[in-house]
């Protein structure tokens, strides 16, 4: 973890003549800075910020870590170093914690809304640019959400696999039986209830209704109530889910909710970084 991040960070932190010139007269002064939260939230990104402080050679005392709550005005970390170090870390540490903490905060709100009744996933982290993918992954985990639809080894047959193989049953037949088979249902080849029946008959173990349509979800729920053994087939739902939708969906009989934008596009947690001479 953080291998690519560390290499990139090292490039970002190469010497800049600007800092040498502006701080020439006070380059050996020791300064202290404090990072605090300007709001209530849930922290993430701290391991990445810790690594940045280490690379810069700062003395750092971390009062909080990823996966814990922080309240308005609470101190997250203290830094001690020379002016160039203290100035360089500001944007790095805010950027590495603020956005991830916004994601983690939304994830925690989602968990509370679900009340432990349903599995919550935010699988969209993997579609982020690879340079920040690990940061988003850590934020989702810090907020308590899963990264995968199921914990077991699985193969996810999305709409493009279904199109390539020419249908639901064909795609499922091509998949190895040594993995949990997850199939995306969109009602493209036949009405979505019929696709659900076909998927169950063809050995699907997780049905993913990925249309965001409550009508589609209700149609598949009807099928499952009539046909499935709950231990054999699970139902997942995705598409435009808002945090306020979670309690109702959790009570419908859905097993898994995959939440994208409501988690990953959450507002940043506002932080403040303040310097004081030591």
pLDDT of residue 25: 73
Give domain status of residue 11, yes or no.
yes
Please report, for the domain that includes residue 183, its CATH number.
3.20.20.70
Residues in the chain, total: 278
Q: Does 210 lie in the same domain as 239?
A: yes
Give domain status of residue 141, yes or no.
no
Q: Does 194 lie in the same domain as 168?
A: yes
Give domain status of residue 137, yes or no.
no
Burial class (CB in 10 A: 0-12, 13-18, 19+), 28: exposed
Q: Does 230 lie in the same domain as 206?
A: yes
Instruction: Please give the helix or strand (H or E) that residue 120 lies within, else none.
Output: strand 119-121
Give domain status of residue 133, yes or no.
no
Q: Does 166 lie in the same domain as 91?
A: no
pLDDT of residue 128: 82
Please report, for the domain that includes residue 40, its CATH number.
3.90.1170.20
What integer is the mean pLDDT of 109-119? 95
What integer is the mean pLDDT of 15-24? 70
In contact, 83 and 31? CB cutoff 8 Å:
yes
Which pTM was predicted?
Answer: 0.89
Give domain status of residue 131, yes or no.
no
**Phi, psi dihedral angles at 154 (to 5 degrees):** -145, 165
Q: Does 271 lie in the same domain as 230?
A: no
Task: Say what percent of the chain tops pLDDT 70.
Answer: 91
Give domain status of residue 135, yes or no.
no
Question: Considering its fold, how many domains does the chain have in total?
Answer: 2
CA triple 187-265-95, angle to 5 deg: 150
Low-confidence winner among 85-89, 178-182, 255-259 (lowest mean pLDDT):
85-89
Q: Does 89 lie in the same domain as 169?
A: no
The answer to whether residue 264 scores a pLDDT higher than 60 is yes
Express each pLDDT in 141-189 by its tens digit: 999 999 999 999 999 999 999 999 999 999 999 997 789 999 999 999 9
Give domain status of residue 207, yes or no.
yes
Q: Does 273 lie in the same domain as 247?
A: no
The answer to whether residue 1 scores a pLDDT higher than 50 is no
Range of the domain at 74: 3-103+267-277
Q: How far is CA 273 from CA 10, 74, 256, in A?
A: 22, 12, 39
Q: Does 156 lie in the same domain as 242?
A: yes
| Neighbour-count burial for 60-94, b at 16+ CB within 10 Å, e otherwise | bebebebbeebeeeeebbbbebbbbbbbbbeebbb
Give domain status of residue 155, yes or no.
yes
């Amino acid at each position: 973890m953080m291998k690519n991040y560390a290499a990139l960070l090292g490039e970002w932190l190469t010497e800049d003549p600007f800092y040498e010139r502006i701080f020439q007269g006070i380059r050996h002064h020791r300064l202290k800075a404090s990072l605090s939260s300007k709001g209530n939230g849930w922290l993430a990104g701290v391991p990445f910020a810790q690594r940045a402080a280490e690379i810069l050679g700062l003395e750092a005392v971390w009062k909080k870590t990823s996966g814990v709550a922080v309240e308005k005005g609470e101190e997250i970390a203290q830094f001690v170093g020379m002016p160039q170090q203290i100035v360089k870390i500001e944007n790095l540490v805010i950027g590495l914690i603020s956005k991830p903490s916004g994601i983690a905060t939304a994830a925690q709100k989602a968990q509370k809304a679900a009340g432990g009744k349903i599995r919550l996933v935010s699988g969209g982290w993997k579609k982020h640019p690879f340079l920040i993918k690990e940061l988003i992954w850590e934020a989702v985990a810090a907020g308590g959400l899963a990264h995968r639809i199921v914990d077991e080894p699985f193969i996810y047959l999305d709409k493009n696999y279904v199109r390539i193989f020419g249908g639901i049953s064909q795609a499922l037949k091509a998949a190895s039986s040594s993995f949990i088979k997850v199939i995306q249902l969109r009602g493209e080849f036949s009405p979505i209830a019929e696709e659900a029946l076909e998927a169950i008959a063809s050995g699907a173990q997780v049905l993913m209704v990925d249309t965001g349509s409550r009508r589609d979800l209700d149609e598949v729920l009807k099928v499952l109530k009539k046909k499935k053994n709950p231990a054999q087939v699970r139902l997942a739902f995705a598409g435009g889910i808002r945090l306020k939708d979670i309690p109702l969906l959790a009570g419908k009989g859905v097993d898994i909710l995959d939440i994208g934008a409501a988690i990953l596009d959450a507002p940043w947690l506002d932080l403040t970084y303040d310097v004081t001479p030591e």
